[in-house]
Chains A and B, each alone.
Chain A
Amino acid sequence: MNSHNIPELENFQEQYWNHSLKLTVDRRNFLRLLGGGMLFCLSYTPARAQESGRNGGGHELPKDISAWLHIGADGKVKVFTGKVEVGQNIRTSLAQQVAEELHVALESISMVMGDTALTPYDMGTFGSRTTPTMGPQLRTMAAAARQMLIEMAAERWQVPAEGLKPIQGKILDQQKSRWIAYGELTRGENLVKVVSGSVKLTPTSEWKVADTAASKVEGHDFVTGKHVYPSDIVRPGMLFGAVLRPDGFNATLESLDTADAEKLPDVKVIRDGDFVGVAGADASIAKKAIVALKAKWNTPVQISNSELFEYLKKNAESEDDSAHRAGSVEQALANADVKVESKYTVQYIAHAPLEPRAAVAEWNDGNLTVWTGTQRPFGVREELAQALQMPETKIRVIQPDMGSGYGGKHTGEAAVEAARLAKAAGKPVKVVWTRAEEFTWAYFRPAALIEVKGGASKDGKLVAWEFHNYNSGTAALGTPYDVANQLVQYHPVRSPLRQGSYRSLAGVANNFARESHMDAIAHAAGIDPLEFRLKNLQEPRLRAVLEAAAEKYGWKNAKATPGRGFGIACGTDKGGYVGAVAEVEIDSASKRIRIRRIVQAWESGAVINPNGIRNQISGGIVQAIGGALFEAILFEGGRILNPRFSRYRVPRFTDMPDIDVVILDRKDLPSAGAGEIGLIGVAPAVANAIFAASGVRIANMPMAPREDVPGEAQSTFKS
């Protein structure tokens, strides 16, 4: 296994799917889940994706209702899921779906999430899987529970179940004008019933709760500071831990002098191989102790930004068997009227979740409890078991709703550090990473080198498409356009920096290259970029969002002027469809780019909580602006040169364009996740708008960095 590559979501996805297929979801459900291009995506998963060693094998999803929900004697409903809330609002949207099927008030439901002792095993919260998989799972269990309650009431009253109806937490017998509350039926006892076969779910067209704009549950706690995040956890007698970081990546510890640090009051220094940490009574003393440690590190020579793309090209592993081929690209290009060839690059960027990695570990009689911020509590339990050489049965990982992740918190570094320090100190220990640690020792969104060749006939028919992605991944790799001659290939590379999942994975990079290139071909052929796309696109769902975005923007009558232009892009992955139009303004003197407006149309099947979806889509647009225009990790000699917000620019209020989000609600289609794919249309739409405004095509992300990225041509524009 390549230790530098944190397994990407695709890997997990495939395992998860095999898992689901084998163990839980019936065939009908499985085929339903496969909607929206998933099969296509899987066919591109390279063989090595199986090497992650983090599979979920052996963890069967429980089929018993009681594992998933409990109705107390007071009628309060507890719902258990291993998924975690990180700001994507699933604590609310999942509760809504349970309320819908169970016929109870939303307020009566509380979600127990991401606690390895209380919730069923879950691979993790990623890949936009909560809505398409956990949603139906909980709906199924809630519907089965509802049916069971009806049968319990029927038996109690000795009447046929058919005449009884569930309404607002009660079973109603209309004929005899009587009712009984759920809590009275269960008396708080578990609903013991194995759910097998298919359970009839409420059709989306009949939803009354799930598709409403319900307010965020526990919202009050977030505006009053009461919500307890992982970094807020306090345990009796708790110490504060800190870890000595190497001078650079891949460094080894040559020598260590702990004398000065150990002279500090109430400080314990812990060394275990190259792991060196301290635990002290407060954060100040722990920090002082780290500074007092005298360490010598050997840091090997490593590449920097300036050699990055050359490195990716040279070190690519050939994966011929994973290539998608059709027809002959070579011949088709030779005969094409219009040919465009380009190279696109994307720099590493950081997730920079506002809450850095944090954990509190506590040992009791050889049992370990860790509160930590992670998208994979069960995965972190596995990491802890391996690191501490102990069985998972003695470990409990609890994930309080955390300060975001964006795919950047799949791992349990802080959890392992806190556990090691707590074990040595004999007291609970809290570890909260500094911003610099989070920027340096977490993992990055993969850099990408993408080479594209495209050809079209003069009437605008796409005839040839060759697309090579080096390093960044397979998400949205294939083209959704109809083109007879294709060669599409992903070339894995041993990444020089530690890399892993990031919201929408390689979807942003692949879409940036593809949609920029489509724009370039359209211009070369002298055809309107929207018309060119529609001419080569059959997928009705993608056409619908593209047309909806263009319509809302007023594409037909819009005219670019020097310094002001607009561009269009579209894309699909994981069952989400996005069409985006961006309008930019470029100051002629300063060359500063301002994005003035973004219109984005979104479709992901039946909408669950439109308020939540809008927040996710709008937020995704904002986050994507950062990577499009100015975010870049600068690195040299195994060190990150800009590990702080004063050097790593993230989107702020002043970067905001007017944002219009158009949601297409397809009640007739299963709901897909909406947390990720909303990012993938922004960068190419902006690049295409810049071209319309200036005639300059920017093929490097970020497109207008605050400081030049070594190895990239000096940017024409500033942001």
Chain B
Amino acid sequence: MGDYVLDVNGTVVHVTAPADEPLLSVLRDRLNLTGTKYGCGEGQCGACTVLLNGVAMRSCRTPVSAAATAKIVTIEGLERHGVLSPVQQAFLDEEALQCGYCTSGMIMSATSLLSKTPNPTDEQIVGAMNGNVCRCGTYPRIVEAVRRAAHAAEKGAQ
């Protein structure tokens, strides 16, 4: 067991956990941030995606010890003062979900993509999102939602 200081959604938190415990378990079981999901434990499905210093990472493959120096953002950290982020709003508007279990990870991957590439082509969207699985098969709407979020952000910036 080790003591770690984490920066999660802008708040500094102290946790005690084994050094090799995945960040996913720390978030879910020790910090009760259950919006981040377990799907496969091998970084293949993307349900556990969070942002580490703004970049999409698989929290199931990230030991807590490696996350201690980073700014961590989870799905719970995107809404600001009751206003959804453009990506969250776009997923809601497009109803780009069915069971919704993959949605947190999808939104985090899309957020990471749009922060680097504000106007992605469809190929860039598909390429960036391909590590995220939606078993309900909502992919066409998710692509549409990412496009919509990009347009919304562009409009907002003008």
Partner of B74, one of A86, A88, A225, A240: A225
Q: What size tier do the contact residues of chain B reach?
A: 35 or more
Partner of B97, one of A88, A222, A232, A645: A222
Partner of A220, one of B34, B47, B92, B137: B92
Q: How many residues of A contact B (CB 8 A)?
A: 55
Given A231-B38, A435-B42: A650 in contact with B133 (beta carbons within 8 A): yes
Partner of B79, one of A88, A224, A621, A654: A224
A434 sits at the interface (CB 8 A): yes
**Contact bitstring A577-616, B, C-beta under 8 A = 1, else 0:** 0000000000000000000000000000000000100011
The interface residues of chain A lying within 8 Å CB-to-CB of B91 are 223
Q: Across the interface, do B39 and A615 meet the contact criterion of CB distance under 8 Å?
A: no
In the complex, residue of chain A having the shortest beta-carbon distance to the beta carbon of B35: A225
The interface residues of chain A lying within 8 Å CB-to-CB of B104 are 225
A314 sits at the interface (CB 8 A): no
Minimum C-beta distance from A5 to chain B (A): 24
Of residues 31 through 77 on chain B, the ones whose CB sits less than 8 Å from some CB of chain A are 32-42, 44-45, 47, 74-76
Minimum C-beta distance from A240 to chain B (A): 7
Q: Across the interface, do A645 and B34 meet the contact criterion of CB distance under 8 Å?
A: no
Q: Across the interface, do A651 and B103 meet the contact criterion of CB distance under 8 Å?
A: no
The interface residues of chain A lying within 8 Å CB-to-CB of B102 are 354
Q: Across the interface, do B47 and A651 meet the contact criterion of CB distance under 8 Å?
A: no
Q: Across the interface, do A284 and B38 meet the contact criterion of CB distance under 8 Å?
A: no
A537 sits at the interface (CB 8 A): no
Of residues 425 through 471 on chain A, the ones whose CB sits less than 8 Å from some CB of chain B are 432, 434-435
Minimum C-beta distance from A244 to chain B (A): 18
Of residues 335 through 385 on chain A, the ones whose CB sits less than 8 Å from some CB of chain B are 352-356
The interface residues of chain A lying within 8 Å CB-to-CB of B18 are 284
The interface residues of chain A lying within 8 Å CB-to-CB of B39 are 354-355, 435
Q: Across the interface, do B99 and A87 meet the contact criterion of CB distance under 8 Å?
A: yes
The interface residues of chain A lying within 8 Å CB-to-CB of B103 are 222-223
A202 sits at the interface (CB 8 A): no
The interface residues of chain B lying within 8 Å CB-to-CB of A404 are 98-99, 101, 135-136
Q: A652 to B39: give the CA distance in the assembly, Å.
A: 15
Q: A353 to B135: give the CA distance in the assembly, Å.
A: 6
A283 sits at the interface (CB 8 A): yes
B141 sits at the interface (CB 8 A): yes
The interface residues of chain A lying within 8 Å CB-to-CB of B97 are 87, 216, 219, 222-223
Minimum C-beta distance from B60 to chain A (A): 10
Partner of A354, one of B33, B76, B125, B135: B135
Minimum C-beta distance from A386 to chain B (A): 29
The interface residues of chain B lying within 8 Å CB-to-CB of A354 are 37, 39, 45, 47, 99, 101-102, 133-135
Given A354-B39, A435-B39: A222 in contact with B133 (beta carbons within 8 A): no
Partner of B98, one of A234, A615, A656: A615
Partner of B88, one of A224, A227, A403: A224
A96 sits at the interface (CB 8 A): no
Q: Across the interface, do B98 and A224 meet the contact criterion of CB distance under 8 Å?
A: no
Q: Across the interface, do A435 and B99 meet the contact criterion of CB distance under 8 Å?
A: no
Q: Across the interface, do B99 and A654 meet the contact criterion of CB distance under 8 Å?
A: no
Known: A354-B99, A402-B101. 19 other contacts (CB 8 A): A87-B97, A87-B98, A215-B92, A226-B35, A231-B37, A354-B39, A354-B47, A401-B99, A403-B37, A615-B95, A615-B141, A619-B138, A644-B40, A650-B135, A652-B130, A652-B139, A653-B132, A653-B139, A656-B139
Instruction: Show 9 residue pairs from A and B whose CB-CB distance is below 8 angstroms, ordered by the A residue.
Output: A86-B99, A216-B97, A222-B103, A231-B37, A240-B29, A401-B99, A611-B95, A622-B136, A653-B142
In the complex, the 4 A-B pairs of residues with the closest C-beta atoms, listed nearest first: A225-B35, A622-B137, A87-B99, A403-B101
Residues of chain B having any CB pair with chain A under 8 Å: 17-18, 20-21, 25, 28-30, 32-42, 44-45, 47, 74-76, 78-79, 84, 88-89, 91-92, 95, 97-104, 107, 125-126, 129-130, 132-143
Residues of chain A having any CB pair with chain B under 8 Å: 86-89, 215-216, 219-220, 222-229, 231-232, 234, 240, 282-284, 352-356, 401-404, 406, 432, 434-435, 611, 615-616, 618-623, 644-646, 650-654, 656, 659
